[in-house]
Amino acid sequence: MAELHDLTALEQGDLLARGEISSLELTEHYLERADRLDDVGAFVRLTPEVARDQARAADRRRVDGRRAGPLDGVPTAVKDLNLTAGVPTTFGSAAFADHVPEVSDGVVLALEAAGLPMIGKTSTPELGSPCYTEPEGAPAAVTPWDRTRMAGGSSGGAAAATAAGLVPLAQGSDGGGSIRIPASCCGLVGLKPSRGRISGFPLYGDPAGLATAGSIARTVRDTAALLEVMAGHRVGDPSWAPPPSESLVAACDRDPGRLRIARFSTPVITPPTTDSPGAPVDDEVLLAYERASRLLEDLGHEVVDVPVPLPPEAVPVFETCWSVLTAMSPVPPERRHLLRPLTRWLSERGHAVSGPEFGAAIGAMRRFAAQAIVALDPYDAVLTPTLAQPPLPVGAIRDDADPARDFENQKAFTPWTSAWNVTGLPAISLPLHWTPGPTPLPVGVMLAGRPAGEEALLALAAQVESAAPWHDRRPPRW
């Protein structure tokens, strides 16, 4: 007989809808697992009383016939970057150790409105910047497939929690790959939606338009269901994607048709040297990419090799925007000494950029994005690897003594993900491959879609999952 955590989030929602289990029972199940089994660095804090109150409210709605949707009563978790009223939100930084927001952001409000009890706040690196999750004063987030190896970042805690069965699905955020990187490291589905699909209310803290919230889950349909909860714009949003023509979950159940799919494996970011972790591209990564290409062809799609759609000149432009965004973080001057070396180094780079230079960088990034979207317009989707390597050992990328080297190491490990933040196109990492040997490691492949094209992208991703299912794979200690 299947355990509750063996079921998908939507299957758990069905049990709740039929009254076969209460949300409080389901929430207690996950609270117990999170308290007992979190040896993966998933949570910075559990919020049991908040979760129980929200679960009781979900149970009352069911009895009254007022369920808020298919995930009402299904537990989740919130990343430590997201403002959560009355709950410490530290942004992964000692500089914000005593920060308790008075308001929740749009993502948290959407999760609450859809009835998902929050069992805790998930770990993130400082200010969500690095592609690994190794926060000061807390355990590193690791992949449950090998607890000596990284879960990725910056949504590493969310991915570790989901992959270890501590929650059925979790929200993350992604400014340069921060959902898709941990999804690949943890053997999960990770979706970065289109720019403007999810509101950035109330902070609107990214004038470059790189970052967005998104969803992490074990199946494509669960990923779509969580995106459906968070999607939508608020009055005052600077940009928004047009609403989908159908339910995103329903899109997973339709035939995508025969598609033209572009592919490239040449890194968008080429490291200056080959001694960084992640360079060159691992053979298992290329094998996963080739197998995914053949699978897509077997499904009837046309797969076409294309050149890298972004030029090398786009990389320093992205770096300029990234460093300015780091410098914009409201760290009190008297607490700057608490920041990690990488954060201080990036912030100093950002402060050295003048206002006109930043404006010019945003303009250049928009032009590079437009050129890439035009070049890819003949295609319905784009296939690339997600990462250059399987999950690396904890500490392999981090270099506090040389933050510049740390940053180069990150670029070598993640040479494709930021392209889709620059363009604003939706992109999804799928766990299609595991390395051989006694300790198999997950290797993701990535599909990107057309502008605001989540429906078609999810239909394709669900077709791939149906042809090569992964949901029944279980990491050690499941």
Active site residues: 79, 154, 178
Residues 192, 172: Cα–Cα separation, whole Å: 9
Residues 371, 384: Cα–Cα separation, whole Å: 18
Q: Could you identify the residue written with the tokens 């159908």?
A: 246
Q: How many residues does the chain have?
A: 478
Phi–psi pair at 383, nearest 5 degrees: -105, 130
From the list 140, 135, 233, the residue with the least C-alpha distance to 193 is: 233
3-state secondary structure of 262: strand
Four-point Cα dihedral 280, 284, 286, 287, nearest 10: 160
Task: Name the residue type at position 104.
Answer: S
Helix, strand and coil percent figures for the chain, each rounded to 5: 40, 15, 50
Phi–psi pair at 294, nearest 5 degrees: -65, -40
Residues 126, 309: Cα–Cα separation, whole Å: 31
Beta bridge partners of 215: 171, 191
